[in-house]
Amino acid sequence: MIAESIPVGGDISYDDISTACGLNVDNVRRILRFAMTNHFFVEARPNHVSHTSASRLLVEDKQFRCSEDPTLSGWGLANNAKAPFFQELEERHPSRFQNVKTAMEAWDSWVPNSPLNENYSWSSVKKMVDIGGGRGLVSQSIASHDPTPRFVVQDLPGVVADASAALPAEFSERITFMAHNMFEEQPVKDADVYFFRSVFHDWPDASCVQILRALIPALKPGARILINDACMPPDGALNPRANRSKRRWDLSMMLLFNARDRENGDWASLFEKADPRFKFLGVRTPDVNVEGIPRAWLLSIIEALSENVMSGREYHQDGSQLSVSFIKGLNYPAWNWLNGEDTGSIGAITEMPHFQSTFGQLSPFMSGLTISIIMLAGAFPSIYAGQLGDKFGRLRIIMAGIMLFVLGVILQGSAFQLPMFIVGRVVGGIGMGMWMPTAGVYVTEIAPSARRGMLMGTLQLAVQAGVCCGYFTAYGTVRVDSSMSWRMIYIIQATVGLVMVGLCFGIPESPRWELLKGRPERARRLLDRLDFSRTEAEKDLFSVVRRESPQPDAIQGLIMIFRRPYRRRTALAFVMLGTIQLSGIDAVVYYAPVLFAQAGLSRTTASFLASGLSAILMFLVVIPALLFIDRLNRRSVTFVGGLLLVGCMLTIGTLYAANAVRPDGPGRFIVIALVFLFGVSYCATWGVVGKIYASEIQPTATRSAANCVATGLNFLANWLVAMITPLLLARSSFSAYFLLGGICALMVLGLWFYMPETKGQSLEAIEEAFKTPFQTRPTAVKIPWQIIKRGLGFGHREERARSGRGGRNKRGTIEPST
């Protein structure tokens, strides 16, 4: 209360604190001045108090006030726990774990089983899973009472090993033991009852919800969840002494473990939070008297039915089922198809006779400007697309961007003057700058870590499919003897864009965005539909979001990505999405007809056909890249691809510089083959890895902003390459190749030393990895790296210190070198 009365960033007098808190001013002064001896609060000016960095945590750090993390609890903090109570003891304190296990066994022996045996119909149960069942005493008691059920007792490995050895022979055929973590997906899928004895009162609500959700993939229709646990009686049901005892126990569980006992309504709410499709059947407390057991401490029977709960599907009011994976797989890659279609067709369009008869023969400068202006226009909105996506939702920004792109396409297709055509490309570029970076963020956030590489890679596959379609559409319409030869292409693009907008209404929003907007229950349902594992959803995703600070505004978000915790990842994202485009891929894609014509093919039909064939190869090579991207190291793929790109560019430049490319010589075929190889190598390596890597290395707080700024740099790099390529080709046949190949070589060298591996890790695990210093240089290059440092002049200070020539002496003073 006192801490909250002191403004953050300002100060307040003792009198005002006293008034705000209703406390004696002298007592306030005494308390605060004692706290100041421990660096909590400070008197910035006489009799006025302000916060220190330590005391500000009392106001701003909410995680301990409302924490549902079992490690951020009284016991967890006192023991520096890295895992929940039982797991922590088993892994790090085995002797204490044995003591707790002995105490739990004593508890199981003390709690009577007769109320459970006699107040539930066990004859209809064929198989029961006793989760957290310890030695299996409950299962043994039920087995003695009813001959029908068979039992699987699950617990931690250390418990199961001892329990299995101590099982009486009479139960050996009906009771089996299984080591299982109840927070992970339930492996037993054909049980009638999933049973918990005295488990849930040890855990906070969030953990209990996670336990229940871990059951969902295993539940068959009609399976029941049966909980035998303490239930807080309603007010007035107990005498004051018994009520005080129960309430004291409840508070003790809260202080120690963030756990709790629950009232009847709390149990119903727990199942509702886990999944609204659970049918809660109620709470029953057996009306029996057991000698030696106070009535208040009898365990209740809490039951729920899984009649309509099925993992990974959403039920609509009409009873139909929606396959999210199907609609998602059909729609989201098609967004980038639009970008590829424009990229593949625009270079060919500007070479068409009827386009040139409409707008005139374009100079190299105007050709570069007309083609590249769409990327320049997309650079600036892409910077703010992340903030717009954070505020309004990923899908809304994607839909708005596609609609703007369609408007730009309509303007281009209906233009009769070049300025109107360029305005259409500017409008389309603005839309592209909104949807493309947001699409990358969206797919990253809906993709489980095991399939994130493949799903992100389908965006690149869609781009290549669009490029392929663009080339062959142009090849098919170039013979049309009217302006429809190029206008027809824009009719196709507009139609596909409108269909994509319509399909966006059938796919879900990003669950991470729902979490950032404070809607965890909706986010959990989306995660179920998107096939996230329980471990990744709860352990990684929800725990990180609980630690996230409120989302910054647009300016703060842009500033944040350059701050110390994030700047390294931001720089890598800039390289992987931005400067990597300076490798020259857009020169190959946009100007393929020109490049092939320069190598000796005819300027229309033959060059268009060669461009289409290169697009087919680039499309086909992405497919195996997607299939294997989650099995291969990101670093290895990047480095091998970079070497191929550098080799292709420098070899083509060398052939042109040596005047070895002639219409009647073999040099032209080598150039054509190397252009093919360059495009294929890029699409199979950098084109797939770049988008994946740039998005997955960003934390949730900056992913959208950093990815969108990096995409803005991507647009600028694309624009620069597309703009200067015709100018360079007009001046020299080889200068463009040497320039782009040299830039590519520098990027390969930098990535080799400073690109950490991320394959197979969850987004949140990657975030944790980036909190430690980079350990990316392999041992094999350690000695060469030292040589490079010495050659550049670094490390001389260390040599002088080792040789005694200057530096600091043993007393810490500085001595001059001789």
| Cα distance between residue 752 and residue 540, in whole Å | 29
- Which range, of 372-381, 621-630, 794-803, averages the lowest pLDDT? 794-803
665 pLDDT exceeds 50?
Answer: yes
CATH class of 94-309: alpha beta
**In terms of DSSP H, where are the helices of 185-237?**
205-215
331 pLDDT exceeds 60?
Answer: no
| Cα distance between residue 267 and residue 64, in whole Å | 24
Continuous segment of H or E residues that includes residue 224: strand 224-229
Q: What letter does residue 541 receive in the DSSP assignment? A: I
Q: How many helices (H) and strands (E) does the chain have?
A: 37, 14
What integer pLDDT is reported at residue 217 of this predicted model?
87
590 pLDDT exceeds 90?
Answer: no
Mean pLDDT of 536-563: 58
How many Å separate Cα 521 from the centre of its chain?
18
809 pLDDT exceeds 50?
Answer: no
**pTM of the model as a whole:** 0.53
What integer pLDDT is reported at residue 452 of this predicted model?
67
pLDDT band at 565 (very low <50, low <70, confident <90, very high): confident
SS3 416: coil
Q: Which residue has the higher pLDDT, 806 or 239?
A: 239
Q: What letter does residue 805 receive in the DSSP assignment? A: S
pLDDT digits (tens, 9 = 90+) for 619-647: 888 888 877 877 788 888 888 998 999 99
Here the tokens at position 690 are 């770049």
What integer pLDDT is reported at residue 311 of this predicted model?
40
Q: What is the DSSP string of 153-181?
A: EEE-HHHHHHHHHH--GGGTTTEEEEE--
| Beta bridge partners of residue 48, listed in sequence order | 13, 45
| Cα distance between residue 176 and residue 182, in whole Å | 17
| Cα distance between residue 213 and residue 205, in whole Å | 12
At 198, phi and psi to the nearest 5?
50, 45
Q: Which amino acid is at 491?
A: I
479 pLDDT exceeds 90?
Answer: no
pLDDT band at 327 (very low <50, low <70, confident <90, very high): very low
pLDDT digits (tens, 9 = 90+) for 44-56: 888 999 999 888 8
| Cα distance between residue 158 and residue 692, in whole Å | 40
The set of residues, in sequence order, having a beta carbon less than 8 Å from that of 516 and lying 6+ positions away, is: 390, 545, 548, 551, 700
Cβ atoms of 13 and 20 within 8 Å: the answer is no
Domain locations along the chain: 2-61, 94-309, 322-507+548-769, 779-815
pLDDT band at 731 (very low <50, low <70, confident <90, very high): confident
Mean pLDDT of 410-434: 94
What integer pLDDT is reported at residue 803 of this predicted model?
41
What integer pLDDT is reported at residue 316 of this predicted model?
33
pLDDT digits (tens, 9 = 90+) for 531-540: 565 555 555 4
What integer pLDDT is reported at residue 818 of this predicted model?
31
814 pLDDT exceeds 50?
Answer: no
Continuous segment of H or E residues that includes residue 279: strand 279-284
pLDDT band at 197 (very low <50, low <70, confident <90, very high): very high
Say yes or no: do domains 94-309 and 322-507+548-769 share a fold: no
What integer pLDDT is reported at residue 544 of this predicted model?
46
Mean pLDDT of 589-606: 66
How many residues are given for the chain?
818
Residues of the chain above pLDDT 90, percent: 19
| Cα distance between residue 531 and residue 61, in whole Å | 33
Side-chain half-sphere exposure of 302, counting CA atoms within 13 A: 27
pLDDT digits (tens, 9 = 90+) for 291-303: 555 555 567 888 8
| Beta bridge partners of residue 322, listed in sequence order | 314
Mean pLDDT of 385-394: 83
**In terms of DSSP H, where are the helices of 319-417?**
324-351, 353-359, 364-392, 394-413
Architecture of domain 2-61: Orthogonal Bundle (1.10)
Q: How many CB atoms lie within 10 A of CB 263?
A: 15
What integer pLDDT is reported at residue 150 of this predicted model?
95
| Cα distance between residue 299 and residue 418, in whole Å | 81
The set of residues, in sequence order, having a beta carbon less than 8 Å from that of 740 and lying 6+ positions away, is: 582, 583, 584, 587, 649, 721
What integer pLDDT is reported at residue 804 of this predicted model?
44
Mean pLDDT of 722-742: 84
* Fold of the domain built from segment(s) 322-507+548-769: Growth Hormone; Chain: A; (1.20.1250)
What integer pLDDT is reported at residue 547 of this predicted model?
45
562 pLDDT exceeds 90?
Answer: no
| Cα distance between residue 720 and residue 742, in whole Å | 16
114 pLDDT exceeds 90?
Answer: no
Cβ atoms of 653 and 645 within 8 Å: the answer is no
pLDDT digits (tens, 9 = 90+) for 340-351: 899 888 888 988
What integer pLDDT is reported at residue 801 of this predicted model?
43
Q: Which residue has the higher pLDDT, 783 or 181?
A: 181
| Cα distance between residue 416 and residue 414, in whole Å | 7
pLDDT band at 602 (very low <50, low <70, confident <90, very high): low
What integer pLDDT is reported at residue 38 of this predicted model?
83
Here the tokens at position 472 are 């062959």
- What residues are labeled active site? 201
- Among 320-329, 362-371, 786-795, the range of highest mean pLDDT: 362-371
What integer pLDDT is reported at residue 630 of this predicted model?
73
